[in-house]
Amino acid sequence: MKLHNNTIRGVHTALQAIFEEGQYADKVIERTLKSNPKWGAKDRSFIAETTYEMVRWWRLIKHLSPSSNYWDLFGTYWIMQGNALPDWEEFERLHPEKIKGKYEAITDPGLLESIPEWLQKLGSKELGEKWEPEIHALNEEAEVVLRVNTLKTTRERLKNRLAEDGINTYIVKGYPDALILEERQNVFRHPAFKEGLFEVQDASSQLVAAALAVEPGMRVIDACAGAGGKSLHLAALMENKGKVISMDVEEWKLQQAKLRARRNGVSIFEPKVIEGTKTIKRLKESADRLLLDVPCSGLGVLRRNPDTKWKLSLESIEKVQQTQQEILQTYPSMLKKGGQLVYATCSILPSENELQVKKFLESEAGKEFELIEDKKVLAQESGFDGFYIAVLRKK
Ligand SMILES: C[S@@+](CC[C@H](N)C(=O)[O-])C[C@H]1O[C@@H](n2cnc3c(N)ncnc32)[C@H](O)[C@@H]1O
């Protein structure tokens, strides 16, 4: 592949915003591409992919690079990918054999997988021998997975429609609404997206709403709804009959969910901002089903958000664990007797997952509940994101 000075500079600007200003990688890339409308499709995908991959391998790149000069860092990354560098003076300090020698001398698995030291320690402590294959799987580039909006189309019809435009997809057993892109591309520009025929949602994430066993006509609360990914899926599974009350502490996220609901043809969506415990108390024993898709470390979705590992810390994980337990202690009061709840995270750490559920079940508030089943979805086994899904019943 031919390198262009201006696109390499585009990646540099994006990396500065991510590492020096602490901005989120996906937002930075979106903005960088938007502010350079003249770049062609190839340049755009080069910038997006290179930025993500350099963020993912940042610790390793810095270790192998002869200096922290940006051209050295980029050149090191380029060599690591197995590419030859052009004969530019910017790259004259780089020697592939030196980089290869330095790489082969590494013995620290955390450095080889390019994760922070504290995370290597935490992951090994929590997951034991499953940690290294897991972090390896989480360093792979994620596939693009669509969730077919069954309120508007079928998987077969959408598959054919996309194929007509050269977007080939395949299906995987066990994920009834998923279509996986054979080749990574921007599907948000496709008319079928604008018509609300699909959403982009990882296959593991699609297991969450399905685990809640909703039925048409039910009253369902999605208590940490965010921008509504799972609320939309729930509404589709309920055939747009009943009610989905989508709650969150962030009003702007619910505004986004509202727009998405409109595009998806969902009419049973009701946003509700959580203003405090009063909001929860008012909904006491009102729901047939309750989804707690709680805030988490996001360690299961590192393939998609590699910058997460540089933003997290032990303290931030402890803080989010407190929120998870607080939510577990208070929100299940919204569930009717005999109703079911799903506690889900996009984390692979037992301390955010089964240990949180255990703590809840052993507490006073958890006495009325029983665990029906739980699923620990690891990226190394599923090939998709890491998730945890526990189904509980209120006795
Ligand atoms: C994992 S995200 C939810 C993703 C969303 N369900 C989806 O499918 O797109 C967790 C959400 O919990 C929200 N949140 C954080 N603290 C909360 C709290 N105390 N109560 C309810 N929601 C909270 C965050 O704003 C965030 O949107």
Q: Kindly report the length of the chain.
A: 395
Calculate the dihedral angle through the C-alpha atoms of 237, 238, 244, 248, rounding to the nearest 10 degrees.
-10
Q: Two tokens at 162?
A: 């996309």
Q: Which of 54, 220, 335, 346 is catalytic?
A: 346
Inter-residue contact 267 to 277 (CB < 8 Å): no
Inter-residue contact 204 to 384 (CB < 8 Å): yes
For position 41, what pLDDT does the model report?
85
CB environment 116-150: b (16+ within 10 A), e (fewer): eeebbebbbebbeebbbebbebbbeebbbbbbbbb
* CA of 291 relative to ligand 1 center, distance in Å: 11
Residue found under tokens 């505004």 = 255
Q: Classify burial at 165, counting beta carbons within 10 Å of its beta carbon; exposed 0-12, middle 13-18, buried 19 or more.
A: exposed
CA–CA gap between residue 328 and residue 345 (Å, rounded) = 12
CA-nearest residue for atom 10, ligand 1, is 295
pLDDT tens, residue order, the chain (395 aa): 789 888 999 999 999 999 999 999 999 999 998 888 888 888 998 999 999 999 999 999 999 999 999 999 999 999 999 999 999 999 999 999 999 999 999 999 999 999 999 999 999 999 999 999 999 999 998 999 999 999 999 999 999 999 999 999 999 999 999 999 999 888 998 999 999 999 999 999 999 999 999 999 999 999 999 999 999 999 999 999 999 999 999 999 999 999 999 999 999 999 999 999 999 999 999 999 999 999 999 999 999 999 999 999 999 999 999 999 999 999 999 999 999 999 999 999 999 999 999 999 999 999 999 999 999 999 999 999 999 999 999 99
Residue found under tokens 């290179």 = 50
User: Known catalytic residue: 296?
Assistant: no
Distance of CA 344 to the CA centre of its chain: 13
In this structure, whether the domain defined by 145-200 belongs to CATH 1.20.140.10 is answered with: no
CATH of domain 206-394: 3.40.50.150
For position 37, what pLDDT does the model report?
86
CA–CA gap between residue 102 and residue 371 (Å, rounded) = 50
CA-nearest residue for atom 4, ligand 1, is 226
- Ligand 1 atom closest to the CA of 345, numbered from 1: 1
Q: Two tokens at 232?
A: 């939309």
Inter-residue contact 208 to 387 (CB < 8 Å): yes
Q: List C-alpha distances in Å: 146 to 73, 213, 229, 231.
A: 34, 21, 12, 16
- Classify the complex by whether its ipTM is higher than 0.85, answering yes or no: yes
- From the CB of residue 394, how many other CB atoms can be counted at a distance below 10 Å? 18
Of the candidates 233, 186, 242, the residue with the CA atom closest to the CA atom of residue 211: 233
CA–CA gap between residue 120 and residue 41 (Å, rounded) = 37
* CA of 42 relative to ligand 1 center, distance in Å: 35
- CATH topology (fold) of 5-137: N-utilizing Substance Protein B Homolog; Chain A (1.10.940)
Q: Annotated binding residue at 248?
A: yes
DSSP SS3 for 370: strand
Question: Which of 26, 202, 247, 249 to mutate to test ligand 1, by most ligand atoms within 8 A of the CB atom?
Answer: 249
244 Cβ inside 6 Å of ligand 1: no
Q: List C-alpha distances in Å: 155 to 28, 162, 177, 229, 262.
A: 32, 11, 7, 18, 20
* CA of 105 relative to ligand 1 center, distance in Å: 43
> Which residues does 53 contact at the CB level (< 8 Å), separation at least 6?
77, 81, 141
Element housing 173 (H / E): none
249 Cβ inside 6 Å of ligand 1: yes
The reported pTM is: 0.95
- Ligand 1 atom closest to the CA of 296, numbered from 1: 1
Q: Annotated binding residue at 165?
A: no
Is there a shared CATH topology between the 145-200 domain and the 206-394 domain?
no
Inter-residue contact 274 to 250 (CB < 8 Å): no
For position 39, what pLDDT does the model report?
86
Sorted by where each begins, the domain ranges of the chain are 5-137, 145-200, 206-394
235-240: long-range contacts, CB 8 A cutoff, minimum separation 24: 235/151, 235/261, 235/264, 235/266, 235/268, 235/269, 236/149, 236/150, 236/151, 236/177, 236/264, 236/266, 237/150, 237/209, 237/210, 238/214, 238/268, 239/151, 240/151, 240/265, 240/266, 240/267, 240/268
DSSP SS3 for 169: strand
226 Cβ inside 6 Å of ligand 1: yes
Q: What are the backbone angles phi and psi of residue 228, rounded to the nearest 5°?
A: 90, 10
CB environment 10-37: b (16+ within 10 A), e (fewer): bbbbbbebbeeeeeebeebbeebbeeee
